[in-house]
Each structure stands twice: as C-alpha cells, then as structure tokens.
Structure 1
Amino acid sequence: MHLDELKVSYGQAYLAQDRRHARSSMAVSYPRDSQLAVKGVAGVVSDSTWRNTLAKQAGDLCVRGFIADYYATPDNWDVKTSANRVLAALNAWLFAQSRTLSHGSYISSMSIAVLRGQQGHLFHMGDTLVYRIRGAEVQQLTREHTTFLGGYRYPSRALGMDPSVDIDYLNFNLRQGDLFLFTTQAVKGTLMPSDLVQLVRQHPEDLHQTCDEILKQAIEKASRRGYSSHNFCFQLLRVDQLPQQQQEDLGSAYASLPVPDELRVGDEIDGYQVQQVLSRSLTSRLYRVFDPQTQLQRVLKAPSPQLARKKELIRHFMLQQWVVQRVGSPYIAKVVDLSRPRTQLYYLMEYIEGQSLAQWRVAYPEADIKQKIDLIEQLTKAVRALHRHDVMHQNLSPENMLVDRDGRLKLVDFAACGLMNPADMEGLPSLLTLARRVGLTPYSAPEYYLDLAPTPRADQFSIAAIAYELFSGHPPYAGQLEQLQQQVDTSRLHYLSLAQPGTEVPPWMDAALRKALQPNPELRYRRLSELIYDLKKPPAVYRASLETGEQRPVAFWKGLAGLLLLLLLLSLFY
C-alpha cells in the first residue's frame, strides 16, 4: 500500500435466525486500484421493515445497486454528485417496481459513508444508524426518520417510498483511528456508548472479532431487557492511514490528466503498444493497442488533442466512459479495466474482430431478409438499453457499429451520447449541440436539421433509416434532409416505397419503415419494440389479405376441376 493513500480496515457480524426472512444488508467496497483515490471507500447498511415480505430482497438490492452504480459514475463527478444521482435513480427504480407488487415492497432505510482522501461523506435515508467512535467519544451521525402507524413504528423518508427522496448529507474531516459503526434500528436500546468504546478497545487488530463481541453482548442485553435480536447486524470501518496531503479535487483527477498527443503505430502509452490507428475524428482518437501484461488486444479511446482546453468537452468524454460501463449490454462494446494506472486521459474498450455494418452490406449483397431483420433487431436492443438508462445515442450510422463473424452486432461509438434529463446535463453540452458537433448524417432525424430539441424517437428514425438502406442500398430522403430550413419544409419530404414489384420487401414491412421515418416525431412509434414487432410480423390487415390471396388459387382450381367433371359427365350422357 502506498504511503500517501487512504488505508482502512473493516469487520462485520450478522445474526438472523432465518436468512430467508432477514431484512438488513451491509457491505464495504474497498477498491485497490486507481478508484481508491477517485471514488474512495464506501460502507453501506440497509434495513427494511419486519412486516415486509420482500425485506431481504429490498435490502440487498439497495446495497448492491448503490455500490455498482456509484463506482461506475464519471471520474470527474465529485462524491456528493455521484452518490446523489445514483440514489435518485435507484429510488425511482425501486418505487416503480414496488407499484407493480401486490405483496411486499422494495422500501428500505439506508446509510452510506464514503471515505475519500481526508474527507468523509455521509448519505442517509430512513432509520438506519451510523456512529463515529473517536477515542472515548461516540457520536451518532445519522438522524432517525420514523413514523407510527397502527401502533407500529415505520421508517419515513426511506429509499423507494416516494417518487423522489430527501437525502440527509454530512461532510466531515477524517482523523486517523476514526471508527464508523453501521447498524440498524433493532439494536437501539441494547448497548450504551461506553459499551461500544470498551468493546472496540478489546480487539483492535481484528475488527471481525470486535463485531462478533459487540453482537454477542448486544444479544445478551437484548435478552435481559426482553428485546428481539433476530436481525442484529454490525459493521465497523476504521481509518488506519490518511493521505499526507489534502486532496480536495480527487473527483476530477482523471479529467485533469493530460490529453495524449497524436499516436502512431509503434508508440506506447502507459505500456500499451499502438498497433493500428483506427480513426481520427474531430472529437476523439481510436487506436488498437496490445497489452503485454494481459496479452490481449484492446481499443484505446482518447479525446482529440484539439479538445485539451475545452473543459465541457472533456467532461463529456468522461461521460461516454460512464455510459458504456453503466449500460452493460451485450450489444454495446464493453469498457475494460486498466491493468495499470493511467497517466493520461483515455479509456480502454474490448477489441471486436469484425466489420462495420456498411462493410457487411457490401460484403454480403445476397444476405436474405431474415439476416437483415436480425441485425436491425440487435441494433434496436442496443438503443433500448441506452434509453433505459436515460441516454440518447444521436449518431447511429452503419459506420459506428460492428458485425462479428457470428453475425452479432455491437455499437462501438458514443461521441454524441447525451443524458435525456436536463438536470443531469449540467455542465455538459446540450443534446442538440453534441449531435451537431459530431456532424449530421443521412440517418439523422429531421429535428436535428431544424434545430429542434430531440427526443428518443430521433434514435428510432435513425434505426429505420439504417434498415431502409440495408434493404434498398441507399438511405431514405436521400439529398432531401439537407434542404430543410423550417418545419413546414418537412411536408415536402418524399418517401420512396420499397414495396415495389421484384423487391424483397413486403408491403407490411414497408409500412413499418414508413411510420418510423415520419418527419413528425409524434407520428412515429411510441416504442422501439413496436417497430421490431411490425417488421417481423405482418399486422392483422395484411395477414387477412395474405390469407385471402392464398385461398383464391385453391378456389380457382376447385372450380376448374368441377367444371371439367361436369363436361365429362355431359359428354358421356350424350
């Protein structure tokens, strides 16, 4: 462990007579890489109500969800911003899930302490408890939010209880030797502060043993006083070493790293060997690199050197990494962990052996309609994964997605990605600015050309435009979008039907594309799933016409056979 970084130790003890009905959960996340300086150490405890049939699931979801999303937030977000945005998103998801349940809920109290540098940050909702033990002084850092209903005590202001959550926040300086005890409301009234001080002094070297002793004594005192001890839990987190210098701006540590200069084949950056220059665009550089430590090829993405002094664009570059890490879709290229600390601003993605969708279309001109629909469906799943995380792509084109040898498609470029929530875009360029900075394409929705605020249906237009080109060989509205100057001009856009004699596109598929390519976004599909459904399966009106068409030849031959039989009988009779 480096002498100038935070060092902590921790211990845990838990008692639940039936783990299936346990209602509390706890964890410590102690990163051993560069995340320690950027995000710090997180200690978490959660607790649901004893009358909740989903208490254990609620507690576990809160703890796992916070830790996973907090450490995936952009490196240039500070602790307070990262934690508050993660908790707000987690609360909204838990509340939405609870509304669909007839029994139980995902409501849970929760307390989080994040230790980073020489600072501590406490986030609290509900009635869980966090104490700080400093020498012989014991201080309760959290305030209990409870209410009484029908003679029972329930937590208020808990996670998942309302559409929005009110989070208590406390910031404080750390001292070497500080101990933080995380526990639940059930323990209240068993141990005195003097008991805690005495117990933590008995086993200073082993905090797990300390927690075991605290648990044992709490059970004994609860038994004597007639308390239930079915769900006691204790977690200790101790500061063993503080960084020698105050590090107030660690949240922007990576954002302040220098932007790499132009790299060429044979150059090295932090030990990664450049093997190929994949692309140089206005905003970024892509290189295929080899990592001698892992013996694997990776894709290294760095900002364009021209962006080095533009802070808002550097912040957006960091957002791209966060988007890819957070979404985690099999149809989106993955960000991979670094095998060593970085000294310059970049991130690594998996290297995918494949070709762009544009190259695939040229290489496989005889591909059947089923293969093309499958690729469009995979693209739709990638975009839906982004939308579920409130992210718009805005720059979908056949050039920024790869198809591997097994026919699997993955999005690999996120230069125009932006958050749909304006509050989350604070300090970042607007969606429209991001799209225009990267550059509009024949697949961009008309609203971008008209300087109108885009919605998720703009991505739907791009998906349909790519599908149209797969079937026809050219994008829709070719040469027309660039002529748009005002909204009334959209009425002049001419859609050329693909359902022509001798083509592979049936009428119902052409109708689906026509709807998704409507110049007015309000007339497009409400959901991307509806577009895929209509592309794969003809609507009822077309199915009826098909069935009628299939029955007509049968009726014709039946009629002809009857007529011939009649003529034969007449000839025999006469």
Structure 2
Amino acid sequence: MASAQLSLSFGQAFVVPARGRHRSSMSVCVPEERLLATKGACALITDSTSRNPLAKQAGDLSVQGFLADYYSTPDHWGAKLSATRVLRSLNAWCFGQSRQVSDGGYVSSMSAMVYEGREAHLFHMGDTLVFRLRGAEFEQLTRDHVTDLGGYRYPSRALGMDASLDIDYVQMPLKQGDIFLFTSQGVQGTLMPSDYVGLIRQDASDLDAACERLAQTASERARERGYGGDQFCFQLVRIDALPEEARDHPDRLYGDLPIPPELDVGERLDGLEVREVLSRTAQSRVYRVCDVHSEREMVMKAPSPELSSRNAYLEHFLLQQWVVERVRSPFVVRVMEPSRPRRHLYYLMAYVAGETLAEWVRRHPQAGLAQRLDIAIQLGKGLQALHHRDLLHQRVHPDNVLIDRHGQVVLADLSACHLRDVDGHRRSRGLLRQVGLTEHSAPEYALDDEVGRRSDQYSLASTTYWLLTGALPYEQPVKELLRHTDLERMHYRSARSHDPEIPPALDDALRRALTPQRALRYRRLSEFLHALRVPEGGSGGSPSRRWHEPAWVWQAVAGVLLVLLVISWLLR
C-alpha cells in the first residue's frame, strides 16, 4: 500500500544477567513529518566487549550522538553523505576521548539503518548483526569484523577504535512488510535462522512480544549450553507503508532554492529588510538585516549572484549553516532561525555589535600585552570548539574576527570551514584556494601538503604575532612558496625584535607554533594556549606566578622551618 509518508513499527527487548551490566544500546527514531520526508527514519544498535568498563557509556553516547547530528545535517544532503560525515566525526570524538582515559575506551560496534523514502541505507562497523525477513527469506545483511586474540573474539573496524573509520555501506530497496532484526554478537550460537523466522512470525503484529520471545528463547538456549553470562538485545523494525515514490521534492531542499539577487539598503527579501551591506565578494554577499515583524537584527549571508550552479564554493556554502548549527560556543557566531519559510538560498546569523580585530587594533594602539593575549586566547577557544566537532576553520585572519563592546571575541567567518575526514584534505585545500590564501595561512596550503588542526594553530599563532607586534613572523610571503625547498628560506623573526617587552618564553611559544614544518608545531592547540597563558620564565610575572619559581618555594620552606625551630626551642 502506498501512502504520502513512510510508516514503520518497531519493538525491543533486553536481557541482562543478574551480575552483568549493559554493554549494548539500541534506538529507533521516527521524526516529525518534515524531517521524515527529508532525512528519513533511523534504527541503530551498538555493542561493546564485556571487558570494556565504559561499554554502556560508549554505546549510549554513540547512539545519541548519531541521531542528534544526523538530523542536524543539511536537508540537501542524502542519507549516505549525512551518515558518513556524522560517523566520521563521531569516530574522531570517540577516539579522542578514549585516549584521555586509562581504563576502557569509547569503542563500540555499530549498525545504523536509515529508512529514506522507498530505500534503506545500512552503515556497519564491527560485529553487530542486522537481518532482513522478507516473506520466508531470512538474510544477514552485515558482515562480522572480528579478531581472535588469546581465545577471545574482539570487534575490528569498530567506532572509536582508530583515527580513521572504514564503514560498510549497503543501499537496498524496501518492500512493504519487510522486517529488520537488530541484535548483538552474543546471540551467536543460540538461535538458528528457522528459530528467528518462527518466533517472529508467531505473532508479527506485536513486535515487542516477538522480541521478548527471541530474548527468552536465546537465554534458555544459552543456559542449556553453559554460557548464560551473555546479555541479549533484540530490536525489530517493520515497514508498514511506503510513500508513492522516492523522495524527490526539490522545493524542500535549500540547495535548489534560487540565489538572492543583489540587494541594497532598504530592500526586502522574505520579510527581512537590508539595513547595511557588510561585504560584497566574488563568492558571497553579507548584509545586516532586520526582521520587519520581530525587529530582530541579524546577519544574512548569501552566495554571490554571479556564481554558477556547479561552483565549488556554492556547494560548500550549503555546508556552512550546518557547521554553525553544530558548534555551541560563545566564541563562534551562532545561527538564527528565520521566522518564516525561506524562498531563497541564504542563512542567518546573530548580529554582533562590534568591530573586526583589525579595526580594534587600529583604535587601541596602547593596549597592553595582557589584553592582547586575552584576545588571542579567546580566539583559540573558538578554534577549539570547531576542532572538537572535527572541523577546520582554515582562514583565521584579523578581518574574520569580531570583538563586541564587552571585549568578547567571536569567530564570524566560516567561508572556508571544512569537515576534517579521511579523504577530504585535497578538497579542503582546493576550497581555501578559491576563497584565497592570506598572509596568515599555513605553508602547507601553498605547497599542497596535508592539512589538519596544526594548520589552524599556525594561523592562530601568526594572527597572535601580528596582534602583539603589528608585523608578520616571516619575510617570505606564504603565497610565494612554490616548493618544499622554499621552506628553508623561512627564518623566524623574533617577536622581541619588534617589542622587547614580550617575554622570551612567549616568543619561544610563538616560534614553535609558527614552525614551517607542521609536524614540529605543538601537538595540541591546548598546549599552545597554555603557553600563551603561562609564559614560563617570562619577565614581569604576577606575584602568584613568582610564588611557583623554585627559589621562592625553597625560601618559603626555609622560613617556615626556621619559625618551627624557634617555637620548639621556646617550648622546652
């Protein structure tokens, strides 16, 4: 039976041993009508090893993170692109968190299925199991990725196990009445395919009851065979109705909306009145606008009317709003929802009443070192917020940084921001070249080398150097680099040669973050930010800083011992 919308039902059952603990998570999400039409419904299962103390946390965070981020991806992205990018970002986060803990890790197998229109998209990592029951045919859709070590089977290619992620992807047509079973590796050796079919078909109208029958039978078989310590979880999803045709509604996709025409002050678009033209470039137009009904002031960013439909920047423009929506930080501009449906391609951001960093420096020539370093650290926190979501900014520059009237720093331009993934480096560099290299761009962009978070670190350090000295760290412009041998001609100019008040340790920190060879910079951005806060050996330290110097510590200890000696002598 065809219908206007996809319709499905699901059921679940968990069995955990008395002394056991959850190490599996599962969920089904059927969103509201608009998201169901554009993004589909999702069903997931995760499972970790019984030897992992963080098994439950890993599974729960993976399921919740996937669902939250998948439904935040742009509407014009298909299921494959959306899920793949979300999984890679989630994998990077889990892998990073695992390196911060000493016992266990945020590692789990995962199978995720997206039901979109009349098709299903399966994404699989590790050894979780997904089966399809169609009529009398019962078929396993996933492959087991396991490694045998010391008699134990461990999942391989699991989420969070490695910095890179290899995802099994299968796309398949749906039929009304299809039933999909999600379960974990622990069920292996308990039920036969005929058992699954019989227990599900016994009363397929009640999927929760069917899951309970599967769990009870699997537990009984496990006890009979002497390995009842395993836990079991079962999730069934049934396709009740399919839409009349596959999702194909271009009018709902932002990517098919027309580019706004050139706007001037006083003109209106979708109920937004232009108050000021902030920027006109070859790639984009930026306007300060006001909602005529709510009187909210916002910033509208739209592609340039001259861009062709195949322009690489236009494709990337559709990613920018999603980037802003994913990042929650006071140091990164936030997205604003329009009060009415948009009829043109643009997105809205909060209006920051302030000035660019370049304008601030011109108006505050007497600003002290501490104030300038505070600005640099705030800017670094904005970059950290992006890096935590596996995003590269790629274009840190004084004209892209805003400072409001309270001294709050906000990263406002995400025109070159890119999702860092396994194969996206070349595309990332190409995007930056189209937007344009700046004097603060890292050398690897000009030399077509691999880029990463340390590339943003270089740009932050270069901007900080300029903020402190008004000059650039190298005489050789980055744009003029043609080959790797040109890096040998890049000689760092000490920041102290421009301002002798800069502490030597701070100069050394800048020198390291600005090393032309990316691998020699700080391993983490947090290390560079710490060096900006606490320049070891720096002059003019505060009393609290001087207290931690070894000489002061030993003098204090000696004074305390002397007082105790006098007191003990007087009490004799």
SS of alignment partner, residue 255 of structure 1: helix
Describe how 1:315-354 pairs up with structure 2 within 5 A.
315-337=315-337, 341-354=341-354
Match of 1:535 among 507, 532, 535: 532
Do the aligned partners of residues 5 and 145 (structure 1) sit closer, same or farther apart at CA in structure 2, a change above 3 Å counting? same
Q: Deviations over 1:54-98 (max 9, x none)?
A: 221121132123323434445554323433344345445545654
Q: Structure 1 pair 25/274, CA: closer, same or farther in 2 (3 Å)? A: farther
Aligned to 2:560: none
1:489 CA drift (Å): 9.4
Q: Which segment is superposed worse, 397-406 or 505-514?
A: 505-514
Q: Please list, as runs of the form range in 1=range in 2, the aligned pairs for 1:391-430 lying within 5 A after superposition.
A: 391-418=391-418, 423-424=423-424, 428=427, 430=428
Q: Which residue type is aligned with residue 66 of structure 1? A: F
**TM-score normalised according to structure 2 size:** 0.77
Counterpart contact for 2:12–2:211, Cα < 8 Å = no
Q: Structure 1 residues 359, 121: closer, same or farther in 2, change over 3 A? A: same
Distance change in 2, residues 1:441/1:85 (3 Å): closer
- Aligned pair in 2 of structure 1 residues 6, 25: CA closer, same or farther (>3 Å)? same
Q: Which residue is equivalent to 2:262?
A: 262
List per-residue Cα deviations over 1:28-49 (Å, max 9, x = no partner): 2333365434432211011223
Deviation at 1:6, TM superposition (A): 3.2
Of 292-301 and 319-328, the range deviating more from structure 2:
292-301
1:205-235 deviations in Å (ceiling 9; x for gaps): xxxxx31x23443454356545449744333
Q: Does the Cα contact within 8 Å between 1:418 and 1:425 map onto a contact in 2?
A: no
CA distance 1:522–1:118, change in 2 (3 Å)? closer
Secondary structure at the counterpart of residue 123 of structure 2:
strand
- Residue identity in the other structure for 2:535: P
Question: Who is 1:121 aligned against?
Answer: 121
For normalisation by structure 1, the TM-score amounts to 0.77
Distance, in Å, in 1 between the alignment partners of 2:478 and 2:439 is 8
The one-letter code of the counterpart of 1:200 is A
Asked if the contact 1:34/1:341 (under 8 Å) is kept, the reply is no
Q: Distance in 1 between matches of 2:447 and 2:110?
A: 46
Partner of 1:435: 432
* Deviations, residues 182-213 of structure 1 (Å, cap 9, x unaligned): 23344564653122123222x4xxxxxx31x2
| 1:141 counterpart letter in structure 2 | L
Whole-angstrom CA distance in 1 between matches of 2:66 and 2:233:
19
CA distance in 1, matches of 2:164, 2:152: 24
- The alpha carbon displacement at 1:291 in A equals 5.1
Q: Please, which of 209, 214, 220 is the counterpart of residue 210 of structure 2?
A: 214
Instruction: Give the match's secondary structure for 1:376.
Output: helix
Amino acid paired to 1:237: V
- Is 2:243 the counterpart of 1:243? yes
Take 1:246 and 1:78, find their aligned partners in 2: how far apart are those partners? 12
CA distance in 2, matches of 1:294, 1:6: 36
Tell me the SS of whatever aligns to 1:121: strand
Instruction: Give the letter aligned to residue 171 of structure 1.
Output: Q
Q: What SS does the aligned partner of 1:21 have?
A: coil
Match of 2:203 in 1: 199
1:464 counterpart residue number:
461
- 2-structure distance, mates of 1:483, 1:59: 46
Tell me if the contact between 2:473 and 2:492 (Cα under 8 Å) persists in the aligned partners: yes
Whole-angstrom distance in 1 between the partners of 2:338 and 2:29? 18
C-alpha distance in structure 1 between counterparts of 2:276 and 2:8, whole Å: 42
Question: Residue 286 of structure 2 aligns with which residue?
Answer: 286
- Rounded Cα–Cα distance in structure 1 between residues aligned with 2:523 and 2:151: 47
Contact 2:279 2:287 in 1 (8 A): yes
AA partner of residue 393 (structure 1): H
- The aligned amino acid for 2:283 is T
The separation in 2 between residues aligned to 1:19 and 1:346, in whole angstroms, is: 55
Cα distance change on mapping 1:458 and 1:80 into 2, 3 Å:
closer
Change beyond 3 A, Cα 1:245–1:287: farther
CA RMSD of aligned residues (A): 4.3
1:369-408 alignment, distance < 5 Å: 369-387=369-387, 391-408=391-408
Please list every run of 5 or more consecutive structure 2 residues that lacks an aligned counterpart in the other structure. 550-572
CA 446–512 in structure 1, closer or farther in 2 if over 3 Å, else same:
same
Give, in whole Å, the separation in 2 of the partners of 1:451 and 1:521: 13
Structure 1 residues 295 and 117: CA distance shift in structure 2, 3 A: farther
1:113 is aligned with what amino acid? M
- % same residue: 47
Counterpart secondary structure, 2:202:
helix
Please tell me whether Structure 1 or Structure 2 has the larger radius of gyration of its CA atoms. Answer: 1
